[in-house]
Structure 1
């Protein structure tokens, strides 16, 4: 397996049925076992129905994680794992970090790694150019520790943890020049003149910064202690120290804290590109699934996003697949339906067999790879086969399906008739369900020429449960057609024990289409179809042939 593949999503069709979900779980187990890896993960493309929920609970499985799109996401790019910085870090330290890491933006985070703000190199440049703001150190409540660090100095009197709360930054030259400029609370930069140092202290300066590492007499230190004045020495000259001290302020004073443009690891590349186009920044913060800071990304990084790798099971029609499939790398397709409209960008393993269920094909693949099937996985595969073949009653059922189902039943220890009844009853239970939920429990979209149509199906063990479903779903069909943007919708209500179905529909001339396709006379908006139980083999081919014939007549 190439190293570039970090995960492979195994996905069934939209509005997943039991075969779709059980195939994804069973094939993921097989691929991980054969490959001695854990990169294959089952996914679901929609809400599972009650039959599938019963199966998963019965055999001890959780629902696969939902996936609605396989478009490349921010998580598929090279995220720069730049650690967040503390809001108290000085601008000078932040600038040095930018030079070391070669980024022009740093993210400010709290101890829990939550994003608090952004500081960009332009913010530091703007602060450095504002030479007339002499109160910036006090206004920013800068710590003495930041001043000492920025000036590469040493604090010989005072507490580095204290902060500056008032005063301006002044340069002390002579007592005569300082008399009208230095006020109580100011920070005064001086050199080696004793008179200047002492005068600044007596003016009640809050801090004395001795430049050029000049000597400080014990008398000045003692006087400063009495006046509550801190003393810092720095090797820098007065000019450099005066330029640098404004860079000692904490980044929180200049960071962007509101309306921060950030993207989630789950944001699609297309959406991220649109967001970034609206900003002049080069780097943007990334937020992980937990809402905490994860790193930085640049707009150029979006060009190198890796495609998601997928395996499709139980479908090969584009209309039945998750969004963004054309931007994904399809590695395999395992299916038992007609060959549909999905295209791949490169060669892919495509296994399509005329059997009643995808899990039947998987059973054969397990045997071919000499992989032992665990009882729980066998239970899933048995359930899928019973569901798709209506417990071996469907015309799609083949001897291969029956052989696989019986072998799997032995492995998982289930009695087929009693288990099938319990499974179908669970799926037919309408308690607390809406028409929309029942409609989507097994619904697929097909196309013939320029006509798209949808066909749903529900399986029922009793006439009462079937009639109740018809009464619930029938009035919903117009709304369903509008929601799915389909001109034609058909819904098959199948009686498992009598191997017959009744069909309801919505759309222009839908009744005529049903009449022509199945050679029946609908009554009161319903058509009875004796012997019809398979959507794949008995319903879809008949509808497609009829629609094609109608198009030819119109042409």
Structure 2
């Protein structure tokens, strides 16, 4: 097992049937047992049908998690785990943090790690350059603790947790020059002159900042206490203190809080790259599935995104697989269909056998690896074999399939005949179902040359359920063709008891294709196909050969 693999998705085809889901679950379990790990996880590539839902419930399984794409996501990159900061942190502290961590963007979060805003180094630079905004300390309701920290000061009078509620920042020189400029509530920076300090207090200043760690007399302190004026001393001279004090305001006063460009851990790399190209920012906040902040990411991080690792079961054609497969690392393919169009970037384990069901192959692999089949997994694999072989009636069924089913039935403790009837009846139940749901229950896309076509199939135990399905699905085929962007769509309504099917179609020339492929005379909008139950072995080859012949005639 290659190092550094976080998870391997075991995925069946789009419009999953029972074999697609059950083989994914069974094979993921086998791989975890063999590799002594838990990184193999079954996934579904679409909504499950009623037959599969019955099977999962009967044997106590939840639906596998849905996966629609395996393109690399933000979670597959190196996210910079830069913690969020409190909105009350000073600009000065934020700047120091940026310098120490070598990032130019910080994210502001609340106590529950929700993203509130972000601040970049340019925002701090802009605030530092705005030397004429003398009211910013009060307007930002800056905490005195921030001023003390920024100026490396000491509060000798007042409450460090209190906030500045207004006023401007002034430099106190002499009483004569201060008389017309200092207003009640102002913050006054002074030196060691007693007269200047006392005058500032008497002018109802809210805070006196004494520079150069100058001495403050007891009389000034007493007067300040009477007037409600705080006193802070700082080792900085007046020039430095005047430059630095604006950096004590909280980051919330300058942060970007609206229209924040952020990405989710589930955002596709391609989408993130497009978003970043439209922005001047270098770093972008990342949120998790619960919208909680987790870190930062930049454009260079996207270049090192790791491919997702996948194992494909019950299919090996690109048109039947999830999106983004060309950007994933295909590790294995386990299938029983014709060899199709999927290409891999490197060597992969490929097991393809002419049997009736993928789970038959998976059962073999349990034996080959000496892994005991659990009772519930045996039930899943039995269900898949019965479904794909139509309870051994399909021409795709082999002796190997039947032997595997009998073995698995014994492990699962079920009677094959009784259970098969229950399973097929559950799948044929149309109560509350839409035409789209029935159509999508088992539908696959195929191609021959420049022609793409889709073939769906439903299996029914009674004439009544089959005719009800035809009445529901038949009128929907045209809409389905448009939704799937296909010129030709065919649908098989298979009668399990009589081992026959009726086929309906949509598309230019579809009726003549059916007549030619199966040597039948269509009756209205459908044709009867005696003995035809297997899409894989009896329908797809006939349609492929007919389409190829038509193309050759046209050429």
Question: Normalized against structure 1, the TM-score is what?
Answer: 1.00
Tell me, what secondary structure is at the counterpart of 2:224? helix
Q: Secondary structure at the match of 2:296?
A: strand
Cross-structure match for 1:373: 373
1:278 alignment counterpart = 278
Deviation of the 1:161 alpha carbon: 1.0
Specify the alignment match of 1:226 in structure 2.
226
Q: For 1:113-512, what aligned pairs fall within 5 Å after superposition?
A: 113-512=113-512
Tell me the SS of whatever aligns to 1:479: helix
Aligned mates of 1:134, 1:354 — CA distance in 2: 82
Indicate the SS of the match to 1:529: strand
Q: Structure 2: how far apart are the matches of 1:234 and 1:353?
A: 82
1:74 aligns to what?
74
Give 1:532-547 correspondences, 5 Å limit: 532-547=532-547
Shift of 1:192: 1.1
Moved more, 168-177 or 384-393: 168-177
Following the alignment from structure 1 to structure 2, what is the Cα–Cα distance between the partners of residues 102 and 434? 56
Matching residue of 2:104? 104
Cα RMSD over matched residues? Answer: 0.6
Q: Post-superposition shift, 1:318? A: 0.4
Cα shift at 1:508: 0.9
Deviations for 1:317-376, whole angstroms, at most 9, x for unmatched residues? 000000000000000000000000000000000000000000000000000000011000
Deviations, residues 425-460 of structure 1 (Å, cap 9, x unaligned) = 000000000000000100000000110000000000
How many aligned positions are there? 555
Distance 2:320 2:31 in 1: 23
Alpha-carbon distance between aligned partners in 2 of 1:133 and 1:520, rounded to the nearest angstrom: 88
Work out the CA distance in 1 between the residues paired with 2:351 and 2:243: 72
CA distance in 1, matches of 2:118, 2:51: 50
Helix, strand or coil at the partner of 1:212 = coil
d(CA) in 2 for partners of 1:186 and 1:501? 90
Deviation at 1:221, TM superposition (A): 0.5
SS of match in other structure, 2:441: helix
Aligned-residue offset at 1:2: 2.1
Q: Measure how far apart 1:3 and its partner are.
A: 2.3
1:106, CA displacement in angstroms?
Answer: 0.3
Q: Distance in 2 between matches of 1:449 and 1:2?
A: 38
CA shift, 1:78, in A, is: 0.3
Give the 3-state SS of the residue equivalent to 2:440 in structure 1.
Answer: helix
Query: Which residue does 2:26 correspond to in 1?
Result: 26
CA distance in structure 2 between the aligned counterparts of 1:416 and 1:378, rounded to whole angstroms? 12
Once the 2 structures are TM-superposed, how far is the Cα of residue 80 of structure 1 from its aligned partner? 0.5
Render the CA deviation track for 1:207-256: whole Å, top value 9, x for unaligned.
00011111111111101000000000111111111110000000011000
Deviations 1:255-281 (A, max 9, x none): 001010011111100000000111100
Separation in 2, partners of 1:499, 1:320: 26
CA–CA distance in 2 between the matches of 1:373 and 1:232?
76
Using the alignment, how far apart are the partners of 1:508 and 1:180 within structure 2?
Answer: 92
Distance in 1, matches of 2:211 and 2:39, equals: 61
**Partner SS, residue 294 of structure 2:** strand
How far the C-alpha of 1:4 sits from its partner, in A, is: 1.7
CA distance in structure 1 between the partners assigned to 2:385 and 2:500 by the alignment: 19
Residue 304 of structure 1: SS of its match in structure 2? coil
The whole-number CA distance in structure 2 between the counterparts of 1:128 and 1:39 is 50
Q: Give, in angstroms, the shift of residue 158 of structure 1.
A: 0.5
Q: Which moved more, 1:120-129 or 1:173-182?
A: 173-182
Secondary structure, counterpart of 1:34 in structure 2: helix
- Work out the CA distance in 2 between the residues paired with 1:154 and 1:367: 76
Q: Distance in 2 between matches of 1:485 and 1:82?
A: 45
Query: 3-state DSSP class of the match of 2:303?
Result: helix
**2:531 matched to 1:527?**
no
Which residue in 1 is equivalent to 2:44?
A: 44
Distance, in Å, in 2 between the alignment partners of 1:551 and 1:222 is: 103
- In 1, the alpha carbon distance for the partners of 2:13 and 2:369 equals 26
For residue 455 of structure 2, give the secondary structure of its aligned residue in structure 1.
strand
Which whole-Å CA distance do the structure 1 matches of 2:185 and 2:521 have between them? 98
- Counterparts of 2:5 and 2:445 in 1: how far apart (Å)? 31
